[in-house]
Amino acid sequence: MEHKPVVLVEGLHKRFGAAHVLRGIDLAVESSRVVCVIGPSGSGKSTLLRCMAFLDRYDEGRVFIEGRLLGYREVDGRRVPDSDRNIDSVRSVIGMVFQHYNLWPHKTALGNVTEALRVVKRLSRREAEAIGMETLAKVGMEEKANAYPARLSGGQQQRNAIARALAMRPHVMYFDEPTSALDPELVGEVLEVMQELAGEGMTMVVVTHEMGFAAHVADEVVFMDEGEVIERGSPDDVFKRPRSERLREFLDTWRARTI
Amino acid sequence: MSFDIDIMFRYGPLLLSGLWTTVHVCALASLLAVAAGLGVSVLYGLPMRPVKLLCRAYIEVMRGTPILTLLFILYYGGPSFGLTLDAELVGIIGLGLYGGGYFAEIFRAGFESIPAGQLEAARMLGIPRRLVVARIQIPQMLTLIIPPSTNQVIILVKESALLSIITVAELTKNTTQMVNETFAVVEPYVAVALLYWLLIEGIALTGGALERRFGYAS
């Protein structure tokens, strides 16, 4: 069988009106690898992740998920938007975690996790709740199963959101600045869950400002600025031997802030 | 002038029958208004320009014309385009469509107050659009819109007094009849004010109870 990366991004361009926010991004995420995307605010890293999920449509280039083109179909060499159904199908192997958790406030922690199991996978309530409890336990949230999001701390909400994505058994997890909205003392519990996932071999793409996490957990670190990948490599390469001035500046700023 | 409590009892049955008409006409009109409003607000959210424009037109016409004009058009104008309706039915349809315009705006505001991120999360999990509406948006929206909806139903009940003009034997119409027959003015209108007030207090209490019942941990 031909080898295919879980996620393959080729020559990706994205414009919001006159703003050219992604300028030809290439990225390959192999199975069981953790890729961390870092860069200053406005560098396009979140937009990249959103385009890789087709939450934002990209203008040029291609995103393949397990070899299948995401968001578009090619008809006689021309590109046309794909149907929602096909997009859902290609996307079904992606689990996504957002900066602001995006839990549904009218459902309990368990309800948030079981919702898609019930209506997308059409499991019975019992099956869905069994998987739901198991997944909540995995993120240390089984005791909060019946709590509504408003009663959970930020860290608990984000772990709940991770469980919601995990319950669907994704092949790759996207994290869009998962700890940026958290109080500093709550960041650790979320990173711990993510680190555990990485340890189990989950394929992950993480857009983050947590340099420590990137340094310890990533297999590859990608540094973006102004819509381009400036540098990429192992955490050691990127953090200890930056080659570009921009990355050096970025790391200096970050170090100055963390002391 | 003395306050004649006796005629209140004599005319009690007439007033109560009027109250009953008001109650059931308003109940049906409210159901129609909520259904029309919900339908229009859901259609409004679809990415189709002509549909959006039609919804907008409906809302603007309903909000932009007095309810009495709408009732006259339906009741007196109806027959000239082959629509002969019973006065009570005109009342239900008129108040319902009229209220629908307002409910549509209440629901639309409710839909728009749900953060886009919640819908993106649903999309990423592959939940089909119609289920996102039914299971994520509508339940949350209902909680948000209970207070303004209660208000809207109260307004609808007060507007129903206008149905007396198109001969519906509701509370105000029967009160007028009582005035005409007894030449008493104070007693009938005090009685009717009290009945409307009780009815509206009942609606307000129900609204409050619904709010407590459906308000999720906030």
pLDDT at B36 over 60: yes
Task: Indicate the pLDDT class of residue A259, thresholds 50, 70 and 90.
Answer: low
Residue of chain A with shortest Cα separation from B139: A106
Q: What is the mean pLDDT of residues B56-68?
A: 91
DSSP strand pairing (A72-75 vs A78-81) = antiparallel
- Give dist(CA B15, CA B10) in Å, integer: 10
| Residue A33, number of CB atoms within 10 A of its CB | 20
The answer, for B117 touching chain A at a CB cutoff of 8 Å, is yes
Pairwise CB contact (< 8 Å): B217 & A84: no
- Give dist(CA B196, CA B22) in Å, integer: 9
Alpha-carbon torsion angle B138, B144, B145, B147, nearest 10: 150
Length in residues, chain B:
218
Average pLDDT across chain A, whole number:
93
Task: Indicate the pLDDT class of residue B2, thresholds 50, 70 and 90.
Answer: low
Of B118, B123, B126, the CB nearest to A104: B118
Percent of chain A with pLDDT strictly greater than 70: 98
Q: What is the mean pLDDT of residues B87-105?
A: 91
- Give dist(CA A241, CA A233) in Å, integer: 10
pLDDT at A28: 95
ipTM above 0.90, yes or no: yes
pLDDT at A91 over 70: yes
SS3 content of chain B, % helix, strand, coil (to 5): 85, 0, 15
Residue of chain B with shortest Cα separation from A56: B120
Cβ partners under 8 Å of residue B152, min gap 6: B33, B99, B102, B103, B106
For residue A205, report the phi and psi dihedrals to the nearest 5 degrees.
-120, 120
pLDDT at A223: 96
pLDDT at B217: 47
Of A55, A116, A151, the CB nearest to B127: A116
Q: B124: which chain A residues are within 8 Å (Cβ-Cβ)?
A: 53, 55, 91, 94-96, 165
Pairwise CB contact (< 8 Å): B125 & A116: yes
Q: What is the mean pLDDT of residues A179-200?
A: 92
Nearest chain A Cα distance for residue B134, angstroms: 11
pLDDT at B4: 73
- Give dist(CA B40, CA A253) in Å, integer: 52
pLDDT at B45: 81
Which comes out higher in pLDDT, residue A233 or B86? A233
Q: What is the pLDDT of residues A61-87, one digit of tens each?
A: 999 999 999 999 988 888 899 999 999
Q: What is the pLDDT of residues B167-192, one digit of tens each?
A: 887 888 888 888 888 887 887 888 88
Average pLDDT across chain B, whole number:
87
pLDDT at A244: 93
pLDDT at B131 over 50: yes
pLDDT at B1: 55
